[in-house]
Structure 1
Amino acid sequence: MFEDSLSFLNQNPEYLLFSVFLVAMCESLAVVGIIVPGVGLITAISVLAGNVNTPIIWFLLCAISGAFIGDVLSFGFGRYCQPYLTAIWPFSKHPSWITDGEYFFHRHGGKSIFLGRFIGPIRPFIPMIAGMMKMNTQHFLLLNGLSAIAWGLIFTLPSYYLGENLDLKWLFSWQALLILTVMSLIAIAVSLLIKQKKL
């Protein structure tokens, strides 16, 4: 079953390309980025892409494009919805999301677009805040492009190359399951011993 799935993805790499584009875009969108476990999904997709030899250039381009477009959409949302944002859910319920983002933006200026890309909790909000603060669009697009490229290289390449050299079929074998079970039992036993000593 798992071998069939890998074979299907190998023959249809467009599914992985679309997936990495969609996840990269969603994790950059205001609000949506909080819900989407972007780093975990990107890592898993990258490992699979490497394992089935998805063309690395196309894979990187899809990841970078998704991250770039997600930030552009958030920037536009902040710019055009700025007067109403504090009244819109979830910002009406969590106004600190905006105030924390504004503080970060004031403190770091344009650099916040680049830095924010790599800081999980504020990643989806910084482009929106930049739009709210009427940041120069060309300056935003330049920093957004550079940060998307850096993000794509850092967050996809290591996992992609790991996937190239990883036998995913073995990970789903009974031997791997046995090893994981034994390791889990040892970890539980050690934690119980530590607790007893503390008592």
Structure 2
Amino acid sequence: MTTLALGPSWLEPNQLIDTFGPYGVMAIVFAESGLLIGFFLPGDSLLFTTGMLVTTDVIKQDLWLICLGLVAAAIIGDQVGYLFGRKVGPALFKRPDSRFFKQENVEKAHEFFEKHGPKSLVLARFVPIVRTFTPIIAGVSRMNYRSFLIFNIIGGVLWGAGVTLLGAWLGKSALVRDNIEAMLVGIVLLSVLPIVFEYLRARKGKKNQPAAGPGQPGGAPQPPQPPVQRGRHAKR
């Protein structure tokens, strides 16, 4: 059984699995989850194909053990990305002329997390490229660590185990195995839907917001107030 990667032939999921085995897949998931160099790796299709190869006995490992390893790799990868962004990120990304980031991008990321909250970590798991940079930007923005850890675990379980189990379940069907190329393309298309829905919802909510009044963000500024007198000479 062969699969098709949406990229160079050496990124074909089946070839990666044949070359590196289950532990190599876990290393790839780790790299894509939190290392800048892993943004191009085919995480979704790789997880799906791994689950399908386990259920068809091509990979001689228990499915629960594979899922456990992939979830751990995803969670640890995001953890490393967050710590990298928190410790090293500010020194690298504050310069306006940074090659990959600008200071305004860091500020926008902070605003994004403030607006959408920790759920952005879960949504980003299912979007290629975005899932690699999200934990790093979360660290740069100094997102609350406890919130990051909780939603990192939730996202890691839903993505690492969820996509793998989906591949194992659908892989039992001969129709799916015979049309795996179309399935992988569909997975990539589905992976962007959460962000599309979130964007449309946020856009609709913005249109429904009432006009800002005086003293509110975007409203007319209030006139300056006289200073309050304090001390024994203050009026009573």
Fold shared per TM-score above 0.5: yes
Q: Which residue of 1 aligns with 2:197?
A: none
Larger helix fraction of residues: 1
Q: 1:81 aligns with which of 75, 79, 88?
A: 88
Q: 2:67 aligns with which of 15, 36, 60?
A: 60
2:41 counterpart of 1:33: no
Count, aligned residues: 157
Query: What are structure 2's unaligned runs of at least 5 residues?
Result: 3-19, 180-236
Could you tell me whether the CA contact under 8 Å between 1:27 and 1:38 is conserved in 2?
yes
Structure 1 residues 45 and 100, CA, compared in 2 at 3 Å: closer, same or farther? Answer: farther
Could you tell me whether the CA contact under 8 Å between 1:20 and 1:66 is conserved in 2?
no
Structure 1 residues 121 and 98, CA, compared in 2 at 3 Å: closer, same or farther? Answer: farther
2:47 counterpart of 1:42: yes
1:125-176 residue CA offsets vs partner (Å, 9 max, x unmatched): 11111211222222211111111111123211121223344499x96xxxx9
Q: 1:114 aligns with which of 95, 113, 122?
A: 122
Q: Which residue of 1 aligns with 2:185?
A: none
Q: Which residue of 1 aligns with 2:27?
A: 22
Q: Distance in 2 between matches of 1:70 and 1:139?
A: 16
Q: Distance in 2 between matches of 1:92 and 1:105?
A: 22
Could you tell me whether the CA contact under 8 Å between 2:26 and 2:73 is conserved in 1?
yes
Q: Which residue of 1 aligns with 2:100?
A: 94
1:90-117 residue CA offsets vs partner (Å, 9 max, x unmatched): x922326656644432321222222221
Q: Distance in 2 between matches of 1:87 and 1:33?
A: 22
Q: Give 1 or 2 for the bigger CA radius of gyration.
A: 2
